[in-house]
Amino acid sequence: MAEKEKLGNFTREDAPEYEDVLQCMRCGFCLPTCPTFVLTGRERSSPRGRVAMARAVAEGKLPFSEAMKEEAYFCLDCRACTTACPSGVKAGEVMEVCRSQVHQQQPLPKWQAGFRNFILQKMLPDPNMLEISMLPARLYQKLGIQWLVRHSRLLKLGPEWMDKAEGMLPELHPPLRPQLPDVVPAVGEQRGRVAFFLGCIMTLMYPEVSRQTVKVLTHQGFEVITPKDQKCCGAPHLNEGDRSTTRSLAQHNLDLFMALEVDAIVTDCAGCGATLKEYEELLEEVGEHDKLTAFRSKIKDVSEFLAEQGLRTAGLKPVDKIVTYHEPCHLCHAQGVSRQPRELIKSIPGIDYRELNEASWCCGSAATFSLKYTDESQQILDRKLDNVQLTGAELLVTANPGCHLQLAWGLKQAGMSQEVVHISELLGMATPS
């Protein structure tokens, strides 16, 4: 394989492509869609500004500076700018690649790098270790220590992110991966067979959501196979600038899932779905193009899959609720799945659907953004909650665990009564047991 040419002041490994930073014609269409630009009014925190900075680094006119590092992480990677851009500029993806440059050009102190590498390279790729790591948190809840900590207001003395992280923890249950049968047969007439990609956060924090996904899929006539050797999709690694671990996870998942004879590989996590759909680009230098293209075509978000197959509504129970829908960025902007969840929600009998103003505006979660930039995340979230309030909805439906955590926390803090549910849980309510 020929070595890549060095691009300006980027290192060779995991640098943006020059074409990707050249395409911007500075029209500004993206500006009103970018949450960080709208918040700050700062050009450098806009898609156009970020791409211009990356271009200057690529052309050797700017070093890979502290400002470049800040913008790489301050970008939510929400991809709203990509949806708006007439030139196809992917500012979020360029910033994601720049995070790898941060770790190459401005390495962390040794102990921090060691901790980061342990989490990204040892713990996250090992589902067993990941599941065991949640045991202390479950005990913390079960033994009543959480109650004491919350009532003592001890966490108010520490950094804000710690208080928020603790407040976001949902009630934890044993992880779903070891409990799910390898094969769950279709109910009634079989329409096909799917593999289930069970994301880490879903199995650890929202096992009930994924249990409902399996229930809905089987009641819709699909046999569900859950390979237990599956590993993290690699999204946290992309987010933290470790693309090489993402590639090794991608290769593992690619080989594992492509050995199965299934019609589709379904996930209920928008973040996982977006990353799985990007394996084709991530592994392009490895070859195996046909296999990667076939894999890409099989990856489906659960709502995308059910809408494509046609929801069997006969026998569904009415759900008499007022419902609205928040679009996860990694579903609508990264995967272009926007119409399908609404169609499914509206086809459930009894639902009074209310459209959410700015439904595809980020909720401020964006992986670790909500903990690194607590003030900015709160402002973005407040805008979302104001819109939710206007709908008069009882249920706020979404389709990504990061959004779920952030919205549920925000609603509780604001004293609002709406409950957050995943679209699979909503479909599960309508599905007979």
Q: Judged by CB, which is closer to ligand SF4: 35, or 175? A: 35
The Cα 368–Cα 356 span in angstroms is 25
91 contacts ligand SF4 (rule: CB under 6 A): yes
The DSSP code sequence of 25-93 is ----TTGGG-HHHHHH--GGGSHHHHHHHHHHHHTTSS-S-HHHHHHHHHS----HHHHH-TT---HHH
> Judged by CB under 6 A, does residue 423 bind ligand SF4?
no
Q: Quote the least distance from Cβ 65 to ligand SF4, whole Å.
A: 18
- DSSP run (H or E) holding 144: none
Residue whose token pair is 């030139």: 87
Among 4, 11, 12, 27, binds ligand SF4 (CB under 6 A): 27
- Among 8, 16, 92, 402, the residue binding ligand SF4 under the rule CB under 6 A is 92
* Contact region with ligand SF4 (CB under 6 A), list: 78-86, 117-125, 130-138, 144-152: 78-86
156 binds ligand SF4 (CB under 6 A): no
Residue 24 within binding range of ligand SF4, rule CB under 6 A:
yes
Among 58, 72, 76, 204, the residue binding ligand SF4 under the rule CB under 6 A is 76
Q: In a 10 Å sphere around its CB, with 0-12 CB exposed, 13-18 middle and 19+ buried, how is residue 344 labelled?
A: buried
Closest to ligand SF4 by CB, 74 vs 257, is: 74
Among 85-93, 132-140, 175-183, 229-237, which window interacts with ligand SF4 (CB under 6 A)?
Answer: 85-93
As a whole number of angstroms, the distance between CA 324 and CA 371 comes to 26
- The reply on whether position 331 binds ligand SF4 by CB under 6 A is no
Expressed in percent and rounded to 5, the helix, strand and coil fractions of the chain are: 55, 10, 40
Residues from 42 through 71 that contact ligand SF4 (CB under 6 A): 47-48, 50-51
Does the protein bind ligand SF4 through residue 235 (CB under 6 A)? no
CA distance 352 to 124: 40
Binder among 35, 328, 341, 364 for ligand SF4 (CB under 6 A): 35
Q: Where are the alpha helices (DSSP H) in 154-259?
A: 160-168, 200-205, 207-219, 235-239, 243-258
Does 99 engage in binding with ligand SF4 (CB under 6 A)? no
Taking the complex as a whole, the smallest distance from the CB of residue 43 to ligand SF4 amounts, in Å, to 11
Exactly one of 26, 110, 151, 156 binds ligand SF4 (CB under 6 A); that residue is 26
Asked if 49 and 91 touch (Cβ cutoff 8 Å), the reply is: no
**CA dihedral sign, ordered 399, 401, 403, 408:** positive
Nearer to ligand SF4, 28 or 392 (CB): 28
